[in-house]
Amino acid sequence: MLLLPLGARAQVTIDADYFTRGEVRRGGISKSSEDVDKNYGFDHANFIVERTKLSLDYAADNIQGRLTAQHSGTWGSKEGGDFNVHEAWMKFVSDKGFFAQIGRQNLSYDDQRIFGSDDWSMTGITHDVLKLGFEGHGHRLHIFAGYNQNPENITEGTFYSGGLQPYKTIEAAWYHWDIPRTNLGLSLLFADIGMQSGEKGSTDEYTLPRVRRQQVYGTFVTWKPGRLAAEAAYYRQGGVEEHGLPIDAWMASGKLSYSPSAHLTLYGGYDHLSGDDQYATPPMGQIGMIQHDKARGFSSVYGSHHKFYGAMDFFYVTTYYGGFTPGLQNAYGGITWKPGNKTSLDLAYHFLATATQLQNADKPLGHELEFSGSYSFRSNIKMSIGYSYMRGTETMVVLKRSTDNRQLRWAWLMLTVTPTIFSSR
């Protein structure tokens, strides 16, 4: 049993994090083949979701820790939502900058495209890992690894499914260098992910699960000379996916922003995520897909997907019909205006298209226009609002299998409250 010191230097904090969000969606919701065959016309949804976190933080000398309980659900759902331990970790830090952190924790790096907290979603993303690292003198190095299993047992094998994360094993390293006198920041990332195939059968028949390994590696660069800021990323994926198909995928992105004043920021950028060759979606009411020799569609694995590719989350949050992907091109621009310390307004435009040519449709997916705003009543109480409109093309109709995808609308209203309940400081 580990007894933590509770002397004068110990700090204990209890925080709450509550948000509730109401959404109205019209169009863009993928339909299954069964729904299409039955001619179900519903392509809209109205709902209210909520999430509540209660966190206990501890810090004393060279020891830090956090325990976070979380509940998330939909108003009126009889299932009662999801209640779990979102974070549970201990961290040991040396005076030289070395540290070790073990337990359920968030992995958030760079712009959160590959590893992120995904705080917009109801559940967020955490991982059960051991993380070792060093931070100091402009250098940061993190190395982490995890091994996942469903129950603690000695008789039921090692098959893993339906857990906290879909991978069986993960080993990764991240390095960041703030280059002196250049305004440049350079990050390198490598992750080896073991995905398990096969399934546990009956006592008379057992399909031995097999772990197939895939890799994600790349770089993220930032440059911030005064009021100008630029960032760029490039990642590749290789190895073999869980069903045995070789992976050959990549993505590249760039973003440029300029702040003529403290209240105004202009920005624009471009994302390109590779897709599967000869992608074809069968006509509505039919099934069957093109056979592929490689998986060329890039997967942004465990990132904060809502931050990218359009706020309506039609891409890389929801999936295309059939599982494969034609990739994505996302050219965007926008303006953020903060007239005061409490108010923030943002207006953005996206042109979206597939990365590969489809056999039965053109590349353009549509034009998306987004508005969002927020007002902070106090430092820990904020109201946010958003509205998005997309003019979809015939390609959007084909990919999402919805005849309503010419006119896509989404509106939301969210309240966030983050009080500190207790602090020993």
Domain boundaries, given as residue ranges, for the chain: 11-423
| pLDDT tens sequence across 171-227 | 999 999 999 999 999 999 999 999 987 655 444 444 567 899 999 999 999 999 999
Question: What is the mean predicted confidence (pLDDT) over 72-80?
Answer: 87
Pairing of strands 169-179, 184-197: antiparallel
Q: How far is CA 42 from the centre of its chain?
A: 28
Q: Residue 336's beta-bridge partner residues?
A: 265, 346
Task: Give the pLDDT of residue 289.
Answer: 55
Q: Is the pTM of this model over 0.85?
A: yes
Q: Please determine, looking at this structure, whether the domain spanning 11-423 carries the CATH number 2.40.160.100.
A: yes
Q: Is the pLDDT of residue 143 over 80?
A: yes
Q: Residue 276's beta-bridge partner residues?
A: none
Task: Give the pLDDT of residue 203.
Answer: 44
- According to DSSP, residue 305 is labeled G
Percent share of the chain, pLDDT over 90: 64
Provide the pLDDT confidence category of residue 364 given band limits of 50, 70 and 90.
very high
E strands present in 274-380: 328-337, 343-353, 364-378
Least confident of 228-232, 243-247, 360-364, 394-398: 394-398
Burial class for 312, CB neighbours closer than 10 Å (0-12, 13-18, 19+): buried
Question: What is the mean predicted confidence (pLDDT) over 88-92?
Answer: 98
Residue 401 three-state SS: coil
Provide the pLDDT confidence category of residue 45 given band limits of 50, 70 and 90.
confident
Between CA 250 and CA 392 the distance in angstroms is: 26
Question: What is the mean predicted confidence (pLDDT) over 268-295?
Answer: 72
Task: Give the pLDDT of residue 205.
Answer: 46
